Structure 1
Amino acid sequence: MIVGFIISGINIKGVSLFVSSVKIMLLPDIQMITMAFSIDQTTGYLKQYFASQLKIPPDVLQVMFQGIETLMSLGVRPHGTIQIEMFSLDLEKFPIKAIQLQPEYNMPDVITIRVQTDSDTFQEVAVEIERPTYRKPFLGGFRNRMTGVEFHNAGSQTVPKKRPDKGIEIFCRETQTVVERRKLQQTRNTTSTQMTKIGLYVSNLTDKLIQPEKYFTAAEYHQHRFNAVIVIQTYYRRWHAIKVVQKIREEKRLRLEWEAQEELRKKREKEERLRKEYERRLFPKTKEDFELLYHALELWRQEEIEHINNTLTGAERKAALCALLEKEAQLIASIGRHKLNADEENQQKAILYFLDKCAEPKRWKAFDGKITEMDTQFTLRARDLLEIYRSISMKDLPQEERLDVLLTLKHTVKEHECKLSQDIVELIDREADLMMRGVKEYNLEGLRKRICTLFLQYIKTPTFNPEVARLLKVPPDPLKLYKNINFCRGCKKYLPSIEFSMSANSRSVGRCRRCCKLDNEARRREAFLKYKLMLRNLRDAEVDYHDDAKTAFLIQQQDLQYMVESIWGCQSALSAWDDLYDLVMVRWNKYCEWSPWNTILLTKDEADAHLKLSSLEQAYEIVFIHKIKHKHILAKNYFSQIPEMASVLHKDDNQPRWDMRNDTCGPRLLGLYRSNPAP
Structure 2
Amino acid sequence: MTEDDEALRRTRANFDETIQSEELCLDQEHLAEKAIQQDYHMPDVLTVGVQTDSDSFQDVLVKIERPTYPKPFLGGFKNRITGVEFHNAGSQTVPKKRPDKGIQLFCRSPQTVFEKNKPQQTKNTTSTQMTKPGLYVSNRTDKLISPGKYLTAEEYHKRRLEAVIVLQKYFRRWYAINVVQNLREEKRIRLEWEAQEELRKKKEKEEKLRREQERRLNPKTKEDFELLYHALQLWRQKETERINRTLTGAERKAAFCGLLEQETQLIASIGKHKLNADEENQQKAILRFLDKCAQPKRWKAYDGKITQMDTQYTLRARELLEIYRSISMNDIPKDERIDVLLTLRHTVKEHECKLTQEIVELIDREVDLMSRDMKECNLEGLRKRICTLFLQYIKTPKFNPEIARILKVPPDPLKLYKNVHFCHSCENYLTSTEFPIPTNSHTTGRCHLWCKPANEAQRREAFLEYKLILKNLRKSEADYQDDAKIAFLVQQQDLKYMIEKIWGCQSALSACSDLYDMVMVRWDKQHEWSPWNTILLTKDEADAHLKLCNLQEAYASAFIHRIKSKHIQAKNYFAQIPAMRSFLHRSDNQAKANEFLIVTPISTGTKP
Measured against the shorter chain, the TM-score band is 0.7 to 0.9
C-alpha spacing 1:542/1:198, structure 2 compared with 1 (3 Å): same
Shift of 1:266: 0.4
Aligned counterpart, 2:381: 446
Aligned counterpart, 2:554: 619
Shift of 1:479: 2.6
Deviation string, structure 1 residues 76-119 (Cα, Å, up to 9, x no partner): xxxxxxxxxxxxxxxxxxxxxxxxxxxxxxxxxxxxxxxxxxxx
Q: After superposition, where does 1:5-84 map in structure 2 within 5 Å? A: none
Shift of 1:218: 1.4
Aligned counterpart, 2:491: 556
C-alpha spacing 1:397/1:223, structure 2 compared with 1 (3 Å): closer
Which residue among 485, 506, 521 is the counterpart of 1:586? 521
Deviation string, structure 1 residues 246-273 (Cα, Å, up to 9, x no partner): 2112111111111111001000001001
- SS of the aligned residue for 1:350 comes to helix
Q: Please tell me the residue identity of whatever aligns with 2:101.
A: I
Indicate the percent of aligned positions where both proteins have the same amino acid.
Answer: 73
CA contact (8 A) 2:220 2:274 kept: yes
- Is 2:540 the counterpart of 1:605? yes
Q: How far, CA to CA, are the matches of 1:569 and 1:441 in structure 2?
A: 59
C-alpha spacing 1:378/1:196, structure 2 compared with 1 (3 Å): closer
Which residue among 409, 420, 425 is the counterpart of 2:355? 420
Shift of 1:194: 6.9
- Is 2:260 the counterpart of 1:325? yes
Shift of 1:302: 2.0
Q: After superposition, where does 1:27-176 map in structure 2 within 5 Å? A: 166-168=99-101, 170=103
- Is 2:402 the counterpart of 1:467? yes
Shift of 1:330: 0.1
Shift of 1:280: 0.8
CA contact (8 A) 2:531 2:567 kept: yes
- SS of the aligned residue for 2:590 comes to coil
- SS of the aligned residue for 2:299 comes to strand
Q: How far, CA to CA, are the matches of 1:205 and 1:379 in structure 2?
A: 111
C-alpha spacing 1:436/1:266, structure 2 compared with 1 (3 Å): same
C-alpha spacing 1:548/1:192, structure 2 compared with 1 (3 Å): farther
Aligned counterpart, 1:383: 318
Q: Please tell me the residue identity of whatever aligns with 2:222.
A: K
C-alpha spacing 1:191/1:581, structure 2 compared with 1 (3 Å): farther
Q: How far, CA to CA, are the matches of 2:401 and 2:436 in structure 1?
A: 30
Q: How far, CA to CA, are the matches of 1:311 and 1:166 in structure 2?
A: 123
- Is 2:162 the counterpart of 1:239? no
Shift of 1:328: 0.8
Shift of 1:287: 0.3
Aligned counterpart, 1:630: 565
C-alpha spacing 1:169/1:204, structure 2 compared with 1 (3 Å): closer
Aligned counterpart, 2:339: 404
C-alpha spacing 1:226/1:317, structure 2 compared with 1 (3 Å): same
Shift of 1:349: 0.8
Q: Please tell me the residue identity of whatever aligns with 1:168.
A: K
Which residue among 289, 293, 299 is the counterpart of 1:358? 293
Shift of 1:661: 11
Q: Please tell me the residue identity of whatever aligns with 2:415.
A: K
- Structure 1: runs of 5 or more not aligned: 1-164, 181-189, 664-679
Instruction: Kindly indicate which of the two structures has a greater share of residues assigned to helix.
Output: 2
Q: Please tell me the residue identity of whatever aligns with 2:522.
A: R
Shift of 1:211: 5.2
Shift of 1:662: 10
CA contact (8 A) 2:439 2:579 kept: no
Q: How far, CA to CA, are the matches of 1:453 and 1:467 in structure 2?
A: 19
Aligned counterpart, 1:518: 453
C-alpha spacing 1:299/1:231, structure 2 compared with 1 (3 Å): same
- Is 2:512 the counterpart of 1:577? yes
393-402 or 501-510: which moved more? 393-402
Q: How far, CA to CA, are the matches of 2:387 and 2:432 in structure 1?
A: 30
Aligned counterpart, 2:418: 483
Q: How far, CA to CA, are the matches of 2:430 and 2:144 in structure 1?
A: 124
C-alpha spacing 1:659/1:465, structure 2 compared with 1 (3 Å): closer
C-alpha spacing 1:213/1:642, structure 2 compared with 1 (3 Å): same
Q: How far, CA to CA, are the matches of 1:395 and 1:435 in structure 2?
A: 14
Q: How far, CA to CA, are the matches of 1:616 and 1:519 in structure 2?
A: 45
- SS of the aligned residue for 1:462 comes to coil
Provide the aligned C-alpha RMSD in A. Answer: 3.0
Q: How far, CA to CA, are the matches of 2:252 and 2:324 in structure 1?
A: 58
Q: Please tell me the residue identity of whatever aligns with 1:284.
A: P
TM-score (norm 2): 0.74
Shift of 1:436: 3.0
Aligned counterpart, 1:269: 204
C-alpha spacing 1:198/1:535, structure 2 compared with 1 (3 Å): same
Q: Please tell me the residue identity of whatever aligns with 2:525.
A: K
- SS of the aligned residue for 1:571 comes to coil
- SS of the aligned residue for 2:418 comes to helix
Shift of 1:276: 0.8
- SS of the aligned residue for 2:495 comes to helix
C-alpha spacing 1:624/1:444, structure 2 compared with 1 (3 Å): same
Q: How far, CA to CA, are the matches of 1:196 and 1:412 in structure 2?
A: 132
Shift of 1:310: 2.9
- Is 2:299 the counterpart of 1:299? no
Q: How far, CA to CA, are the matches of 2:405 and 2:222 in structure 1?
A: 26
- SS of the aligned residue for 2:421 comes to strand
333-342 or 242-251: which moved more? 242-251
- SS of the aligned residue for 1:396 comes to coil
Aligned counterpart, 1:222: 157
Deviation string, structure 1 residues 357-401 (Cα, Å, up to 9, x no partner): 111111111111121111222212212221221222122333333
Shift of 1:199: 7.5
Q: Please tell me the residue identity of whatever aligns with 2:412.
A: D
Shift of 1:546: 2.9
- Structure 2: runs of 5 or more not aligned: 1-97, 114-124, 599-608
CA contact (8 A) 2:507 2:518 kept: yes
Aligned counterpart, 2:83: none
Shift of 1:337: 0.3
- SS of the aligned residue for 1:271 comes to helix
CA contact (8 A) 1:499 1:512 kept: yes
CA contact (8 A) 1:280 1:289 kept: yes
- Is 2:367 the counterpart of 1:432? yes
Q: How far, CA to CA, are the matches of 2:325 and 2:141 in structure 1?
A: 117
Q: How far, CA to CA, are the matches of 1:474 and 1:408 in structure 2?
A: 29
The structure with the larger Rg is 2
CA contact (8 A) 1:505 1:638 kept: no
Deviation string, structure 1 residues 210-240 (Cα, Å, up to 9, x no partner): 6544333211221222122222222222221
- SS of the aligned residue for 1:523 comes to helix
CA contact (8 A) 2:131 2:137 kept: yes
Q: How far, CA to CA, are the matches of 1:621 and 1:442 in structure 2?
A: 73
Aligned counterpart, 1:596: 531
Q: How far, CA to CA, are the matches of 1:409 and 1:451 in structure 2?
A: 10
Q: How far, CA to CA, are the matches of 1:298 and 1:490 in structure 2?
A: 24
